[in-house]
Amino acid sequence: MKWQGPRSARYFLDTANALRAPREQACRLLALQHAICNIDLAAGAQCKVSHLKNDVLFLFADTGVTAAKLKQSAPSLLARLHRAGHVPEVARIEVRVRPRHDAAPLPKRAVLNGEGLSHLERYAANLDDMPLKAALRVLIERQRRRR
């Protein structure tokens, strides 16, 4: 086999059939993002194109407030995209809030040990305040069920 010299990454991406469809989809989504930025700069800065599924274009907004604004302007944005010649097959735009990956994990539920439960039982037995006494009994019963 004769050495043909170095080849660009584009050569391999263009010749690999398995990578052709995802590459074309990524290019199409990127072109849609640029089109949205050109049509409405504010909308383009506030959202990112997520994916196309059937006849729906999905956009991710950074915050809930932004998502609400984009949902209200989605029909006019879609009309402007159609007039510009983009995504003629899309019937509607759906806007969602981008999932946060840096969100704090849920706190672990505290479970009282036997000694703590016995202290609470003794404390509840000596209480005169009925609502507090009832609340402590509910807490004790729930803790016992978890164990």
CATH number at residue 23: 3.30.300
CA torsion sign, 123 to 127 to 131 to 132? negative
| Angle made by CA atoms 45, 25, 76, in degrees to the nearest 5 | 40
Tell me whether residue 16 is in a domain: yes
Pair 38, 69 in one domain = yes
Tell me whether residue 105 is in a domain: no
pLDDT tier for residue 113 given thresholds of 50, 70 and 90: confident
Host domain of residue 61: 11-97
Residue 85 in tokens: 């010649």
Residue 25 has a pLDDT of 87
Helix H or strand E segment including 85? none
pLDDT digits (tens, 9 = 90+) for 63-112: 899 999 999 989 998 999 899 888 888 899 999 998 877 777 778 877 88
pLDDT tier for residue 16 given thresholds of 50, 70 and 90: low
pLDDT of 133 strictly over 80: yes
pLDDT of 137 strictly over 60: yes
Pair 42, 91 in one domain = yes
Task: Give me the chain's average pLDDT, please.
Answer: 85
Distance of CA 104 to the CA centre of its chain: 15
Pair 83, 138 in one domain = no
Burial class (CB in 10 A: 0-12, 13-18, 19+), 66: buried
Query: Average pLDDT of 123-147?
Result: 88
Instruction: Measure the CA–CA gap between 54 and 45, rounded to whole angstroms.
Output: 25
Taking residue 93's Cβ as centre, other Cβ atoms within 10 Å add up to 21
Pair 130, 67 in one domain = no
Pair 93, 118 in one domain = no
Pair 57, 122 in one domain = no
Pair 73, 18 in one domain = yes
Instruction: Measure the CA–CA gap between 40 and 79, rounded to whole angstroms.
Output: 12
pLDDT tier for residue 58 given thresholds of 50, 70 and 90: very high
Q: Which is more confidently placed, 60 or 46?
A: 60
Structural domain count, the chain = 2
Nearest Cα neighbor of 70 from 101, 39, 100, 28 is 39
